[in-house]
Amino acid sequence: MSDNPFSLWVYLSQSPLLWLTVTLVTYAATDAVSLKTRRHPLANPVLHSLWIIGAFLLLTNTSYTTYFAGAQFVHFLLGPATVALAVPLYENRRRVAAAVLPMLVALTVGSLTAIVSVVLLARAFGLPREIILSLAPKSVTAGVAMGISESLHADPSLTAVSVILTGIMGAIIVTPLMNFTGITDFRGRGFAAGIAAHGIGTARAFQVDEVAGVFAGIAMSLNALVTSLLVPLAVTYLLR
């Protein structure tokens, strides 16, 4: 043990160990709260982990670069997790094949709506071009969205923030909104959640209905493919 507690802090605050631990512990705690509240949409673990860790960094005057040196080990797994989406797609291949036509039509319409609506709204609000480009891929899972953002020379960290905000808002609104429309086809409800709100929407769909969850997962994987092709095209046409 060091004589000076401050030098211990200086050592720890610069090591990846502390920030990796902070990330995992905060998530474990917020996820436990989410389970306790029976996955209430407002108890979303991502939402609460973000402000808790963010406040901790601001209070301890730690830079994001220092934090990320530890948290990057978690961040890295976004790529492999995207590859892993092949498994639910494969396991539900019969269901996918049976509903392939409505899914493809809904995928095209939904993916286009997600991109075009955000770009047009952002233009109407007069946001700078770099922000519009960073918001455009907000409906796909973070790893893919950040990849798209990077390839457009936009701001991947702003993209990540907008992806997560989109996911959280989608997960909160989807059930009341769908109940309001009176649509009871859980394949369609789940599919919409996966297109509009990626992994966070999919996690929500699984809590509501098993079939909805499966279709949300399929929608999220297909949307990752389609959006990465559509966003570069859409921004070229819409932001000329």
Partner 1 sequence: MIASLSLILLCQLVGEVAVRALAVPVPGPVVGLVLLLLLLLARDRYPALARGPLGNDGVESASRGMLANLSLLFIPAGVGVVQKLDLLAEHGIAILVILAVSVIVTLLATVATFVAASSLFSREDEAP
* Contacts to partner 1 from residues 156-195, by CB under 8 A: 156-158, 160-167, 169-170, 173-174, 177-178, 181, 183, 185, 187-189, 191-193, 195
Please check whether residue 31 is in contact with residue 45, taking contact to mean a CB–CB distance below 8 angstroms.
yes
41, 66, 143, 154: residue in contact with partner 1 (rule CB under 8 A)? 143
Q: Which of residues 1-20 bind partner 1 (CB under 8 A)?
A: none
Supply the minimum distance, in Å, between the C-beta of residue 11 and partner 1. 22
State yes or no: residue 59 binds partner 1 (CB under 8 A).
no
110, 133, 154, 208: residue in contact with partner 1 (rule CB under 8 A)? 110
Supply the minimum distance, in Å, between the C-beta of residue 12 and partner 1. 18
Supply the minimum distance, in Å, between the C-beta of residue 80 and partner 1. 5
Nearer to partner 1, 18 or 148 (CB): 148
Q: Which two tokens stand for residue 203?
A: 């996690």
Nearer to partner 1, 5 or 80 (CB): 80
Supply the minimum distance, in Å, between the C-beta of residue 7 and partner 1. 25
2, 60, 151, 179: residue in contact with partner 1 (rule CB under 8 A)? 151
Q: How far apart are CA 237 and CA 95, in angstroms?
A: 35
State the binding string over 15-54 for partner 1 (x if CB under 8 A, else -): --------xx-xx---x-------------xx--xx--xx
Q: How far apart are CA 52 and CA 58, in angstroms?
A: 10
Of 125, 133, 163, the closest CA to residue 149 belongs to: 133
Residues in contact with partner 1, total (CB under 8 A)? 105
CA–CA distance from 204 to each of 108, 139, 188, 189 (Å)?
22, 15, 14, 11
Nearer to partner 1, 147 or 208 (CB): 147
Among the residue ranges 5-13, 35-43, 113-121, the one whose residues contact partner 1 (CB under 8 A): 113-121
Map tokens 């949409």 to a residue.
41
Q: Which of residues 79-98 bind partner 1 (CB under 8 A)?
A: 79-91, 93
